[in-house]
Chain A
Amino acid sequence: EVQVVESGGGLVQPGGSLRLSCAASGFSFSDHYMDWVRQAPGKGLEWVARTRNKARSYTTEYAASVKGRFTASRDDSKNSLHLQMNSLKSEDTAVYYCARDWQTAMDYWGQGTLVTVSS
């Protein structure tokens, strides 16, 4: 069974940092691109980042709203995906989802982890 499980969310002050993790199982993690998507409270979905696989040199694309502040990475040996978030702002408050990228869509999603940026 395919599963992705996020962790690492919590309360952080503006300007602070937080590292999210996503543990994947039930599929060949190293073959797949992976995505981060977020959803602010009561708002819509916003794509955050996409990390490609080894065949594509692990390159990553970012949304303009997080570029330069967030860094996505992966550890294929541990079937894990990470999102390092720096210089956090109140507008980064959201539930962050990890999703498997398949056929240029997102076919398996975790349940999300809540990040709250507030003083």
Chain B
Amino acid sequence: QSALTQPASVSGSPGQSITISCTGTSSDVGAYNYVSWYQQHPGKAPKLMIYAVSDRPSGVSNRFSGSKSGNTASLTISGLQAEDEADYYCNSYTTSTSYVFGTGTKVTVL
């Protein structure tokens, strides 16, 4: 199972919106609505930000939103804040009953 494809880096100024793409195949992203997104600050454990494509766990800011079209999922961060600077990973359940993560995206707040 190949890793899902994400841009290596995305940047934006405070207050702006950014979108991170996550491209897979019809065997993973396109197969189910089981795409999740994780935020990871340096030296810390990942944190679940979005599950089931677009749902937010309790406590996660509504500035984070998710969507999917075909084999590509997206995470949008609106009202970008300094604390959003981190690595972000997408994840999808697959038709092989396994999971696959994305390659990861470093978000920089300018």
Contacts of A106 in B (CB 8 A): 36, 38, 46, 48, 91
Listed in ascending order, the chain B residues whose CB lies under 8 Å from chain A are 1, 3, 32, 34, 36, 38, 40, 45-48, 51-52, 55, 57, 89, 91, 93, 96-104
Size category of the binding interface on chain A: 20 to 34
> How distant is the Cα of A106 from the Cα of B92 in the complex, in angstroms?
11
Residue of B nearest to A47 (CB): B99
Nearest CB of B to A71, in Å: 16
Chain A, interface SS category: strand
11 contacts between A and B (CB under 8 A): A44-B104, A45-B40, A47-B99, A50-B99, A61-B96, A62-B98, A64-B1, A103-B52, A105-B34, A109-B46, A111-B45
| Cβ contact within 8 Å between B89 and A104 | no
> How distant is the Cα of A61 from the Cα of B51 in the complex, in angstroms?
20
In the assembled complex, A63 has its CB within 8 A of some CB on chain B: yes
Q: Which 5 A-B pairs have the closest CB atoms?
A: A105-B51, A105-B36, A47-B99, A109-B45, A44-B104
